[in-house]
Structure 1
Amino acid sequence: MSSRAAWLAAVASVAILLLGVRAFLDPVAASVGFGLPMHTDTETTFVRIYGARNAFLGAVALTFILFRMVQPLALLFTLATVLPLLDAVVIVSRIGVGRELLRHAAILFVLAIVSLSLWRSTRSPSSD
């Protein structure tokens, strides 16, 4: 795995993990960032599920990085690109199209860049 791909994946993985932990621990605040503001803990069950999902994916990705499992890591990032699209569908179904979708578009872009970088690193000689 190239150093650039590894760093991109590590930064993205830590961000995903931290977003997940934040959503799990402070779901009311995280719901605003997600694009569906909620005001009480009783409304935020789905945000905690979102947080658990992201924390788990971030931890799995960091484990793959630690053990230099490049192909599984690339596959994980590739498959994860569908998640911001699905998250956007949830938002559109609740409040319609709006600027809240920009965050999810940015996440999709980052996941795609990391995925491409990882796949390229599996096809070229390592430059660790």
Structure 2
Amino acid sequence: MSKAYWGLKSLTFWLVGVVTLLMLYLGVRGFVQPIGAIRDYGLPLHDTADNNLVYIKANRDLFIGIFLLALMILRMRKALLVAMFTSILMPAIDAILVISHAADTTPSWIHIASAVYGVVIGCMLYREEQRAST
């Protein structure tokens, strides 16, 4: 296996796959069960008329999942590296929103853990990319 190979035999491929599946799940769930999805996000709705806000988040999550899946299928490790590092801001901002606006801030830890997971995967992808280019 060459240093440049990235795919099914790579740990980072599967770690990115976990994020991809999670984002696809969150996106679909947001459309199918908007009230439960936003409650688990950490900011429960006070009025079901606000479901459109949940659909916006579900759309974001679904798009990210599809985008990551496309990059995985195309074996674009460098693009996934950039995507991982730039997308770390999303769960970080989500955590800040939950901490500052929710009565129960417990779900903020999911967002914080997601940001940390993104940093770890990004660093691992960066290290692999550096090794592949030498």
User: Which amino acid letter does the alignment assign opposite residue 72 of structure 2?
Assistant: I
User: Which has the greater radius of gyration?
Assistant: 2
Distance between the aligned counterparts of 1:7 and 1:73, measured in 2? 12
Structure-2 change in CA distance of 1:87 and 1:61 (3 Å):
same
TM-score norm. by structure 2 comes to 0.83
Say whether the 8 Å CA contact 1:31–1:44 is kept in structure 2: no
Taking only the aligned residue pairs, the percentage that are identical comes to: 27
Higher relative contact order (CA 8 A, sep 6+): 1
Distance between the aligned counterparts of 1:96 and 1:120, measured in 2? 40
Partner residue of 2:55? 48
Partner residue of 1:64? 71
Equivalent residue for 1:99, pick from 101, 106, 128 = 106
Say whether the 8 Å CA contact 1:6–1:65 is kept in structure 2: yes
Partner residue of 2:126? 119
Structure 1 stretches (4+) deviating beyond 3 angstroms?
Answer: none
SS in 1 for 2:105: coil
Structure 1 unmatched runs, 5+: none
Distance between the aligned counterparts of 2:76 and 2:128, measured in 1? 12
Say whether the 8 Å CA contact 2:81–2:126 is kept in structure 1: yes
How far is the alpha carbon of 1:57 from its aligned partner? 0.6
Distance between the aligned counterparts of 1:37 and 1:111, measured in 2? 25
Distance between the aligned counterparts of 2:45 and 2:104, measured in 1? 18
Distance between the aligned counterparts of 1:7 and 1:97, measured in 2? 32
Partner residue of 1:9? 16
Do structure 1's residue 77 and structure 2's residue 84 form an aligned pair?
A: yes
Structure 2 unmatched runs, 5+: 1-5
User: Which amino acid letter does the alignment assign opposite residue 112 of structure 1?
Assistant: V
User: Which amino acid letter does the alignment assign opposite residue 32 of structure 2?
Assistant: L
TM-score norm. by structure 1 comes to 0.87
Distance between the aligned counterparts of 2:119 and 2:103, measured in 1? 25
